[in-house]
Amino acid sequence: MLAYSALLTVALVLSSPWWLLRMATTERYREGLRQRLGAVPWQLVLSVQGRRAVWVHAVSVGEVLAASRLVGELEVALGDGYRVVISTTTRTGQALARERFGANRVFYMPLDFAFSVRAYLRAVRPAALILMESELWPRMLHECGRGGVPVVVANARMSDRSFARAQRMQWIWGRILRKPALWLAQSEQDALRMVVAGVRTDRVQVAGNMKFDIRAPKRSRVPERIRTLAEGRPIFVAGSTVEGNPAEEELVIRAWKASMRGETKALLVLAPRHPERFAAVEAMLRSMRYAKVSEHLGAGEVDEISELGIEVVLLDTIGDLAAVYGVADVAFVGGSLVRRGGHNPLEPAQFGVPVVMGASFENFRDVVTKLQEAGGIRLVSDEVELGGVVADLLSDRAEAKAIGEAGRRVFEEQQGATARSVKAIVALIRGEAA
C-alpha cells in the first residue's frame, strides 16, 4: 500500500495544475472537495449516532437509481438499529442521492488516501461497505480489511474491457479482487469472469441485475409537460446521449431531420447523460424551434412555448429521464452509437416502449441479449439506420407495440435481484450462513 499511496500522490502532484485550473473555472470540480479530503459532514455523524451504519457507495446517477430500492429494503430488513448512508463520486449522482435519500446521510466519497478514508471509517464505523457495480479503490479496500469492515460488491459486473485488463494484470488485479467478502454478480457470465480473474468461488453469488428492479419516480411533472408540448404528435426520446466525434446528439438530430421531422412530425426529446453538456447541446438546436423542460419550468410557461410549435425538447433536469421514457412512442438509449458501451435499455422497456440502441452495448450485454432473444429491442449501426428504424416504428404501431410488450415482459420476468441481494447482505452483516 505504501507504493500505491506514493504513486497516487505523485500523480496528484503532477496533475495539480490541471485540477487547479478546473477548480478555478468550473464549480463542479470545487463542490464537495472538503468532504473528499476527509472533512466528515456533521449531519452525517448525527445521522448515525446510536445506530450501526451500512455504507453504500454509488458512483453516479445510474448506480444511485439501482441502489434506490436496495437502500430502502436494507433498512427494513435490518431494522431500527441500523442506518444506511450513501456516498457518490459525481455531482449529478450527489444531487439525485440527496433528492432520493435526504441530504443528511449523503456525502462525497473520500479520495483514496489513508487520512481521508480513515476519517470516514472512524466517523461512520460501518458494519459493511457496499460498492455498487465495480468501484474498487485499493486504499479503501485495505483500510476496510484493517478495520474488520466486510466489503460487498453489489450488482457486480465485469465488462469486456475490465475482464481483458484483469487477465493481463492478474498479479495486481487478483490481489484487489480477493479483498471483498462478497460479490453479487449480475449474471452467470459475470460470475465466471470474476472467478477467472481471481475472485474466490465461495465469495461469488449470482443475484441478478438490480436495474431490472428500477421503477421510475411517480411524482415527476416533467413527462406531462413534454406531452403538452407534443400537442398530439408522436414522441421520440433519445436518452443518455454522450459526447463523441461527432457528438451523439448530432447523430440523433441528423436521423430525426432525415426520417422523422417531415414524415411523422415527431417531437424529439434529447436528454444528455451529463448536465455539463446541456449548453453545448442547446447550441446545436439554435436553428430549430426548441424548448428546455425541467422541474423549474412552470405550467404557464409550457403553454406559452407550445404556441410556437416546438420541434425539439432539451431535458434540463436530473433523475427524470426514466419517467420521461414513459411518454415516449419510441426510445433510443444512448452511449451506443458512439463507442461508450451503452446505457440502460430497461428504463424505457419497463413502460412497454420499443427500444432502439446502437452497436455499442458492452456495459449491458446481458440485458441486451435477453431483450434480443425476446424480440424486445432493435439494434442499429449508424444514424441512417436509426432514422429509418425509428420512423418505421412510429408508422407501424402494431410492430412497435409488439416490441414494447416483449421488452416489458423481459423487465418483469427478471426482477428480484434487489431482494436476493438484501438477503445475502443481511446474512453477511449478521454473520449468518447465506
Per the annotation, the verdict on 63 as an active-site residue is: yes
Catalytic, out of 31, 63, 276, 373: 63
The CA-based dihedral angle spanning residues 131, 191, 208, 425, taken in that order and rounded to the nearest 10 degrees = -50
Q: Which residues are paired to 236 by β-bridges?
A: 268, 330
Among 214, 172, 199, 207, residue whose Cα is nearest residue 58:
214
Are 346 and 331 in contact by the 8 Å Cβ rule? The answer is: no
Which residues are designated catalytic?
63
